[in-house]
Amino acid sequence: MSVTFPHGFLWGTATAAYQVEGAVREGGRTPSIWDTFSHTPGKVLGGDTGDTAVDHFHRRAEDVALMADLGVGAYRFSVSWPRVQPTGRGPAVQRGLDFYRALVDDLLEHGIQPALTLYHWDLPQELESAGGWPERETAHRFADYAQLVAEALGDRVEMWSTLNEPWCSAFLGYASGVHAPGRTDPLAALRAAHHLNLGHGLAVQALRGALPRRARIGISLNPSVVRARTESPGDLDACRRIDALANRIFSGPLLRGAYPDDLRADTASLTDWGFVKDGDLSAIGRRLDWLGLNYYAPAVVSASDGSPAHGNDGHASAEYSPWPAADSVSFHQPPGERTEMGWSVDPSGLYDLLMQYTREAPGLPLMITENGAAYDDEPAADGTVHDPDRIRYLHGHLTAVHRAISDGADVRGYFLWSLLDNFEWSYGYSKRFGAVYVDYATRSRTPKTSAHWYGRLARTGVLPEATGAVPAPE
Ligand code: FCB
């Protein structure tokens, strides 16, 4: 039976500035927290940095042509804050904006819709040195930056996203410290979460003022599909606690105008949440045009069995937990197939996520702004790169998306993570998420079999077969 997606469904691929651009010292760009972090010994596997990354900054035209050849209809990229507003304050730098203008023009010429993310984790280092996201001022700086980018690109970009995965910025950046800026302070992480939310709200206001009416504004979250290991009260409470810290800390103020009471109670030993000021919640709750969901794998939790509360971030060896006040929780690896990240392959999680947000945010169009998998791809002797595992992963997850749409979820698009193999944060270049293989010695690009498979889907809207596909949820 053929699986056909709705007419007009957006088929995209995604990247992020620091993961692909390189050219970190060109055109007046100043360091971001990821430049500092990746140059700190011991923080990134193999000492890898984004200094050159996959050189997207110089290969922009080639990469856009590649997308066009494949037949992809949209490109989700992020703007590097320190490239367009070095140091995070003051006027925009024209040379920085020129790069994104040229990128957008190339995309539009090829009929590819640009989807712009303002913040994918590369805070200007100067703002971190002034306190970073735990400080309220950073939210105001972010709104000013949003305004500058909107003024420069608002005439040609319709799809705007404020933040990518604020959970990672707050909790991997400031609590477990496995991401930049590498702090390990649970209170700072909670403050950061609020100021990211506030920055989002203030940025939405700035964007609404600066963009034409046709602009569509959203945010990309990475909700944890968290499941209790058993139905015991202890395990269910562990699930509730992680759901609050992973999900409702964002969806509460964004969609319901408040932080959840249980979250405040769980974290009372750390803070009275006095950093939430009058007016913040109405700013954060401003109307959205779409909600982006990033999904990779579900999490299974129980009451603590003594193992540390680390979780589903792929950093099981981290010394500090990303989950403030959750020492009472343990995380478990579900049995079954895993990707190269060690993340379990479970399309039912994506189905559940879409149905959950269909209930929580009725009337709000959903976008899957990231989904994909890392595998140990290697070119064959003839230079081709076959990645049947990735095709099976995508097939299983897209079948789940289709089923959610049939069951009433208003899903408007899907962005495969990632267009290209790239700098996978603290894993450096050791994990390949790309549909396109990058030879890191020459930076040459070779579309993997999955890229052609995905291109066929993007052109026809009909899910191609995948032999031995991951079973879709019942
Ligand atoms: C997400 C990030 C993205 C990429 C994927 C694998 O959390 O948003 O940049 O690293 O994971």
Ligand 1 binding pocket includes 222 (Cβ within 6 Å): yes
Could you tell me the fold of the domain covering 10-224+243-295+337-460?
Answer: TIM Barrel (3.20.20)
Give the distance (Å) from ligand 1 centre to CA of residue 292: 13
% of the chain beyond a pLDDT of 70: 96
Kindly report the protein residue whose alpha carbon is nearest to atom 9 of ligand 1. Answer: 16
DSSP code per residue over 447-474 = E-HHHHHHHHHHHHSBPPP-TTPPPPP-
List, in order, residues 6 or more apart from 192 with CB less than 8 Å away.
Answer: 132, 133, 134, 169, 170, 173, 174
Residue to probe by mutation, ligand 1, list 13, 119, 421, 424, most atoms within 8 Å of CB: 424
Give the chain's end-to-end CA distance (angstroms, integer): 16
In this prediction, residue 237 has a pLDDT band, given cuts at 50, 70 and 90, of very high
Residue positions annotated with a catalytic role: 165, 370
Give the distance (Å) from ligand 1 centre to CA of residue 274: 31
Mean pLDDT (whole number) for 385-389: 97
Burial of 334 (0-12, 13-18, 19+ CB in 10 A): middle
Whole-number pLDDT of residue 471: 47
Residue 473 in this model has a pLDDT that exceeds 80: no
Using alpha carbons, select from 27, 18, 78 the residue that is nearest to residue 49: 18
Give the distance (Å) from ligand 1 centre to CA of residue 195: 21
- What is the token pair recorded at 168? 């990672």
Give the distance (Å) from ligand 1 centre to CA of residue 323: 19
Distance CA(321)–CA(189), nearest Å, equals 11
Give the distance (Å) from ligand 1 centre to CA of residue 465: 27
Whole-number pLDDT of residue 153: 98
Residue to probe by mutation, ligand 1, list 119, 417, 423, 432, most atoms within 8 Å of CB: 417
In this prediction, residue 456 has a pLDDT band, given cuts at 50, 70 and 90, of very high
Kindly report the protein residue whose alpha carbon is nearest to atom 2 of ligand 1. Answer: 165
* CA 11 remoteness from chain centre: 17
Q: Are 37 and 44 in contact (CB under 8 A)?
A: yes
Residue 474 in this model has a pLDDT that exceeds 90: no
Whole-number pLDDT of residue 62: 98
Mean pLDDT (whole number) for 453-474: 79
Ligand 1 binding pocket includes 427 (Cβ within 6 Å): no
Element (H, E) at 125: helix 125-129
For residue 194, the one-letter residue type is H
Residue 388 in this model has a pLDDT that exceeds 90: yes
Residue 1 in this model has a pLDDT that exceeds 80: no
Q: Looking at ligand 1, which atom is closest to the CA of residue 374?
A: 6
DSSP code per residue over 60-74 = HHHHHHHHHHHT--E
Ligand 1 binding pocket includes 417 (Cβ within 6 Å): yes
Distance CA(299)–CA(214), nearest Å, equals 37
Q: Give the number of other CB atoms < 10 A from CB of residue 175.
A: 26
Residue 458 in this model has a pLDDT that exceeds 80: yes
Kindly report the protein residue whose alpha carbon is nearest to atom 10 of ligand 1. Answer: 424
Kindly report the protein residue whose alpha carbon is nearest to atom 5 of ligand 1. Answer: 417
Ligand 1 binding pocket includes 168 (Cβ within 6 Å): yes
Q: Are 67 and 15 in contact (CB under 8 A)?
A: no
List, in order, residues 6 or more apart from 141 with CB less than 8 Å away.
Answer: 88, 89, 127
For residue 320, the one-letter residue type is Y
The model's pTM: 0.97
Whole-number pLDDT of residue 310: 62
Give the distance (Å) from ligand 1 centre to CA of residue 381: 30
Using alpha carbons, select from 85, 94, 117 the residue that is nearest to residue 20: 117
